[in-house]
Structure formats: structure tokens, C-alpha cells
A and B are shown apart, each in its own frame.
Chain A
Amino acid sequence: MKHGKYPLIITFLVPPVLLYVVFVVSPYLQAFQISTTDWLGYSADANSVGLANFKALWRDDYVWNALKNNAVLLALVPVLTIVLGLFFATMLNMGGRKGRAGVTGVRGSALYRTVYFFPQVLSVVIIALLWKEVYHPNKGLLTSALHAVGLASPTWLGDPRTAFWCVLAVMVWSNVGFYVVLFGAAMSAVPKEIYEAVMLDGASRLTTLRRVTLPLLWDTVQVAWVYLAIFALDGFILVQLMTNGGPNFSTDVIGVRMYDTAFGSETKFGYASAIGVVMFFLTLSVAVLSLRAGRRDRIEYS
């Protein structure tokens, strides 16, 4: 077998690595280079300006405003999504207490599992348009529901006080389903005996979740955290389609700022690349930090 190892590795590894270098690594490197120029994107002329773009970024209020929004998303989207995902997954997998078998989901859990997964099947564009109609200030689902019970409703996406939270809610909504499935899968790997023992000891569902499930699922939660943190730093498609950063920049995120700088209201590709570089390092640091901070002793079932 030994002599056949390298040809195999080369055949399977080289094409994907090449593709990755050509289509992912090289654009990144190029973005670094472009970020030090004043390239305007529609000619081949670009002058090197050193770090001027980054200096301008530092003083750009709109970029700071977008970063602030990303920071709020980063603080809330992962927490909310993971808490909801864990809760639903627990209910679906071990919420039921009636059955004599001990560990089962609540009644109808198969149906719920399908329903929760719906948003994951829809494309992000569809989700954005769907929710735009739900948030329609005169005839949207939400407005009509509030009016039906006699409450006044805000203008949702039209008001800077509510627009951001509306978008955040959609982000959580569209992500929860996936994590319900992810956590569910991880839970099914946990030996049932543990839960049966916990149940015999008379632990409540909440205690079970906190003291048993969560520690056993920690690796999965950590991965979910990293994914969601990256998502929160991006958020581009949903925001661009639902509000395009408005009203009055209240829902602006760094991705939208970058897109707008290059393809929207200006053609400053050099400056946009500088925003991209900042985004790259932010995402990298957040991911590394959350992996480091979440380090714990591993539990192996044997």
C-alpha cells in the first residue's frame, strides 16, 4: 500500500488546492494589494497611495456606524440563535416526559423538525422578500395582526428605531432551523443512559440542559458560535435586500458599506478593498477568539 500513497494524495488534493488558491487565496491577496491604491475600477490605472485608504477609514463615520451595527449583531445573533436552537433541539429530542422509554421528544416532534428547517431550504433572497412583505407597514402580516387586536404598529423597516431589530429578528429566524438539526444530531450521539440516570435522579428539564446537555455538546456549540459570528459580521444579503442600510443608515453593516463603495453610489474599488481587508481581519480575530475562549476539556464516550 505504501508505494501508492502519494499518487493518491496528489490526485485528490492538488486539484482542490489549486482551485482554492486560484479562486479564493489569490483574490484575497489581490484585495490586499488593491487596498493600497486609489483604483476607481473602470480603467487599468491605479496609483499606490500607501495606507491612505486605511487612514480615511479611521475617520469615516459611516464605516464606524456600520461596524457598531455589526458589533451589536455579533453580540446578539449567536446568543439568541444558539439559545433558541438548543431549546428547540432539547424539546424535540428529550422534551417528552410521558413515555415510559424515558428519553423522547415532545409530541409531533417530527413535524416540528421539518417546520423549523423550512427557512434553511429557502434562498436568502426569498427570505428577504418574504419578510419585506411581512413588515409591510399597511397590509403586512405583522401590522394586520397588531391592528386586529387593536394595537398601533410601528412602520417596521421604515423607522430607524425598529428597522435594525426587524432585520436582526429575520437573521435569527432564518438560522435557528439549521442549528436545531445540528444540535439534534449531536444530542443523538450522547448515550441515552446518561439521560436516564439524570432522570432517575429527578433533574428538571432545565437542569438537564444546563448541567448535562450543554457540557456534552460544547464542541458543537462552539462551531455554531464561530459560524454565527461570521454570519453576524457579514449579514450582507439580508440587509441589502431588506433595507439597503437605511433608514438613515440605521441598519447599515460593513458588507453593505463595502458593496456600496465599489458598486453602489461610488466606484472607489481601492477604498472598498480597504474595507474588505478590515473585514477580513475582524472576522479572523473573532473566529480565533471564540475558538480560544471556548476551549474546554474534551469528553469522550467509550
Chain B
Amino acid sequence: MNRRDILRRTAAAGLLATPAAGLLAGCATGGGDDKADGGTYKGTKSEQNPLGVKEDAPLEVVIFNGGFGEEYAKSHEAMYKEKYPKAEIKHSATQEISKTLQPRFVDGTPPDVVNNSGASQIDFNGLVSQNAIADLGELLAAPSLDIPGKTVKETLLPGAVEVGSYDGRFLVFNYTYTVYGIWHSTKLFGERNWAYAKTWDEHIALCKQIKAAGIAPWTYAGLHPRYMSWPLISTAIKFGGPSVATAIDNLEPNAWKSDAMKAAADAWHQIVKDKYILEGSPGLDHKQSQTAWCQGKAAFISCGSWLESEQKDVTPAGFNMTIQPTPSLGSGDKLPFEAVRGTAGEPFMVPAKAKNVAGGLEYFRTMLSKKGAQDFTKKVSSLTVVAGATDGVELPYGLSTVVKALDASGANGFNWVYNNYYRKLERNLVDAACGEFFSGRIGPAEFLDQCQKGADSIAQDSSVKKYKRTA
């Protein structure tokens, strides 16, 4: 063997070893045939135990270790253990939900409770169409743990059940209540004598004033530009009514090119055209743009109600971040200015093949008790889907403005769920269109075209299961 041969062979070995990505798909499809039900834990149902929990059955909980951390879950687990002292609880937390759990789903040995959230969330469309998630209907019908005389369902805020329902079956339990809106600092606005504008024309006038004062009116997460699709779609829904959202969710033809969407895209194009966006924003990620905003380099940012806890470390004292609804386009709007997008978020599920399904449901019932919900709100400064659970809890400034916005919005609140039905549509396709639109490379018509093209590609993809909702 001479030098050339050695080199050649090294190259060949490198060829086989390098495309490691090819190994990713190498998880086995075999195994995990429907094992007999013998392995599952079932207890006897009674008034005290409406879900039929086997009191000594172990419970495995996997938590997404993101913005909320994992401490809140540990105290929920302690509450569960208090009621079932003989149950052994296995707790783990990860940021890589899909990679960690995928083999276990295939193997038929998934954990009992999964907090399927974060960037590595498993696409719900895939899970639902493979019947991989247990029906949570029984949980809704069970009596609340510590709110007397009410079933679990009756303790929830409106919309909490709908978000997690697929074809009428309640499969995904979303624990937090998230409000989406436009944020500003009351401190900054107070110092400068600015007032949040309620109509779009006033908003543009205010932007002009802010820019003249040497501050950029807007910034956004340029690397995740879908954050800007939220206020844009909100503007359209407030203008044209909730049917705008239903059409988008149901993948109706030309839903993205409705008059309301056109009006909203035209309006939002103004802040791009007039250069009301902080220079360089298209190159910032969500943390970087939010930090620039906290440093007073920009006046407005679009985000959900998790913003305050996410920015805790970098927010200056007395910054007083405040959430506000999107401005109205005009007097012709179908929904009032106060209407905001509120939705249940932070999804939890019990895998259909979990050993201790009843225990998983009972764990959710613990989370949804008043005690469990209050503990969560105190620990992570976020609302839960349990109505009135914040009563008597002292909230941080930003969250108190969220509660106020939610109260003012009342029955006018709206939501959309296409991002849950078709994760790819929001995460990839609308996201890319928003990036082009808000950096000014395409105009409103092209923007809506690109979104529509994305929605059509999902609608035509026969391998994606479709869902419809009526309201």
C-alpha cells in the first residue's frame, strides 16, 4: 500500500462518516407494535377519584425547559404526590422535546405527561393524525379539585378548550393564557409626553413624532419575522371580523387576500415605507430586538405576554412595559379598539400509549386547581387558563397590564389557530413572507401572494391532515 492508496482510502472513509445528518432518519420504525393493554395502570373510579387513578402507579413527566423553567412543574408534582403518596414521580426537563421523545413514541413507551413546547416542539398535526395523543375529554367533565361545584371545564377561560381541539376532540391542554399585542414603556412615553394611539392614522402620526425625537418607532425579530404577522392579522380581524381568521384557519381559497387582509397589509406597509423601523432589525433575533427595545432604542415591539418574564434580566427598573391592542384602521372596524388576541398556550399532552393515562389527566387536574394555577402565576409571572386564579395574587407591572387588556377586550377577544393546525405554514412560509415584507423588499400585494401560495401548498399537500373549525 503506498501513500496514494492510503489517502484515497482515508477519503473514502471520510465520505462514509461525514454526512452524519443521514443518520438522523435512522431511527427504527420496527418494534412498538400495539402491546397488550396489560401494561397500563387503572384504578377504580369513585367520587374522590373521578379519573380512576391507580394510587401507586408511577407517573413520568417531561417538561420543556424554556422561559418558564421547570420549578413550577416540581411543585405541581409535589401537589400530586401529596394526594398519592405511594406514586413515584419521574421528572425530567429538556429543550429538545422532539429529538428526545421521538424514539419513545415509536417504541410505544412514551412518558405520561409531555409539555410539548418550544422550538423543538413536535408538530401537532403529525401527532394527531397518527392518533398518538390521548383524548382529554374525561378531564373536562371531572369536578375541579378545589373549586367547589364546578367541573374542570367550567373553571376555564373562554377559548381554552377550542385551541386544543381537533375535529371536536380535546387533545391538547394549553396551560397558560397568552395575550398578543403591541408593547411600549409607559416610562418612556410619560417622559416624552406621548400617548398610545388608538387609530392607525394617529399611530403613524405618533411614529413620525417618535422618529423626530431620535428614537426608532418600531423594531422586530427580523430572524423570526412571524412575530410581525400577529399584529398584521389582528388588524385585519378587527377590521373584517373573526371570519377573516376562520377563513385562514380553514385554508379557504384566497383567505390571505381578503379585503381585510389587503387593508391591513397596506396599513402596515406604511411603517416600512416611512422607515419607522429600527435600522438593522431584519438581522436581529427575538432576544436581540427585545433587548434593543428595552434599552429604549425603539418605542414599539410586537410580542405575546411572555415578554416580561423573557426580558426580566435586561429590563431597567421602572421601565413599566405595557401591552396594548393593535390600533383600529377606522370607524368601519367590526371589532372595537380594545379587542385583543388572547389564546391558551404552552401545550401539554398525554400520549395515547402512556402507561398511566389516568395519572396524566389527574396531573392536569392538579395543575388546573386554583392552588396549582396560583402557584404557577406566582412562580413564572404568567396567566393560566383558570378563570379568576389571579385574584389576590400580586402581579408584576407588565402582567397587570395584560390582565387589564384582557378585561377590556372581554367578549370581543379573537384568535386564530392555523399555526397549531399547520405548524409549517406559520413557522416557514408566512415567516419568510413577513421577512421580505417588513424589510421592504416586497410590497403588500406580493406579501399576501406569498402567504397565499404557502397556504395553497399546504392545502394541496395530501400528506397533511386538514382540520376545520366553525367559529
User: A267-B122, A267-B123, A298-B4 given as contacts; is B106 within 8 A of A42 (CB)?
Assistant: yes
Contact present for B29 and A227 (CB under 8 Å): no
Contact present for B108 and A44 (CB under 8 Å): yes
Residues in B neighbouring A222, C-beta threshold 8 A: 7, 11
Residues in A neighbouring B102, C-beta threshold 8 A: 41-42, 263
User: A136-B288, A248-B435 given as contacts; is B18 within 8 A of A234 (CB)?
Assistant: yes
The residues in B between 101 and 149 inclusive whose CB is less than 8 angstroms from any CB of A are 102, 105-106, 108, 120, 122-123, 125-127, 129-132
User: A159-B439, A247-B439, A266-B126 given as contacts; is B288 within 8 A of A226 (CB)?
Assistant: no
Known: A230-B18, A231-B18, A287-B12. 5 other contacts (CB 8 A): A30-B26, A234-B18, A248-B433, A248-B435, A298-B2
Name the residue on A nearest B23 (C-beta).
Answer: A27
Q: Name the residue in A220, A243, A248 with the highest tally of chain B Cβ atoms < 10 Å from its Cβ.
A: A248
Name the residue on A nearest B97 (C-beta).
Answer: A263
Contact present for B30 and A247 (CB under 8 Å): no
Label chain A's interface by main secondary structure: helix
B432 close to A (CB within 8 Å):
yes
B424 close to A (CB within 8 Å):
yes
Name the residue on B nearest A245 (C-beta).
Answer: B428
Contact present for A24 and B29 (CB under 8 Å): no
Residues in B neighbouring A244, C-beta threshold 8 A: 223
Contact present for B11 and A40 (CB under 8 Å): no
Sample 16 A-B pairs with CB under 8 A, ordered by A number. Answer: A27-B26, A40-B130, A42-B102, A138-B280, A155-B280, A158-B283, A159-B282, A219-B7, A234-B18, A244-B223, A247-B223, A248-B435, A263-B24, A263-B120, A267-B126, A276-B21
B436 close to A (CB within 8 Å):
yes
Residues in A neighbouring B32, C-beta threshold 8 A: 43-44
B213 close to A (CB within 8 Å):
no
Cα–Cα distance between A269 and B2 once the two chains are bound (Å): 43
Cα–Cα distance between A79 and B27 once the two chains are bound (Å): 36
Name the residue on B nearest A39 (C-beta).
Answer: B29
Name the residue on A nearest B96 (C-beta).
Answer: A263
Q: Which residues of B contact A (CB under 8 A)?
A: 2-4, 7-8, 10-12, 14-33, 98-99, 102, 105-106, 108, 120, 122-123, 125-127, 129-132, 222-223, 225, 278-284, 288, 292, 423-424, 427-428, 431-433, 435-436, 439, 441, 463-464
Residues in A neighbouring B284, C-beta threshold 8 A: 136-138, 158
Chain B min CB distance to A74 (Å)? 13
Cα–Cα distance between A258 and B24 once the two chains are bound (Å): 9
Interface string of A262-284 (1 = CB under 8 A from B): 11111111011100100110011
Interface size class of A (residues with CB under 8 A): 35 or more
Contact present for A137 and B283 (CB under 8 Å): yes
Contact present for B282 and A137 (CB under 8 Å): yes
The residues in A between 39 and 94 inclusive whose CB is less than 8 angstroms from any CB of B are 39-46
Cα–Cα distance between A109 and B329 once the two chains are bound (Å): 66
Q: Which of B222, B280, B424, B439 contacts A266 (CB 8 A)?
A: B424
Contact present for A42 and B127 (CB under 8 Å): yes
Residues in B neighbouring A137, C-beta threshold 8 A: 222, 279-284
Residues in A neighbouring B24, C-beta threshold 8 A: 258-259, 262-263, 272, 276
User: A31-B22, A40-B130, A138-B279 given as contacts; is B435 within 8 A of A264 (CB)?
Assistant: no
Residues in A neighbouring B129, C-beta threshold 8 A: 40
Q: Which of B99, B278, B428 contacts A263 (CB 8 A)?
A: B99
Contact present for B130 and A45 (CB under 8 Å): yes
Chain B min CB distance to A77 (Å)? 14
Chain A min CB distance to B468 (Å)? 20
User: A31-B22, A42-B105, A231-B18 given as contacts; is B222 within 8 A of A155 (CB)?
Assistant: yes
Cα–Cα distance between A260 and B121 once the two chains are bound (Å): 12
Residues in B neighbouring A269, C-beta threshold 8 A: 25, 27
Chain B min CB distance to A127 (Å)? 17
A173 close to B (CB within 8 Å):
no
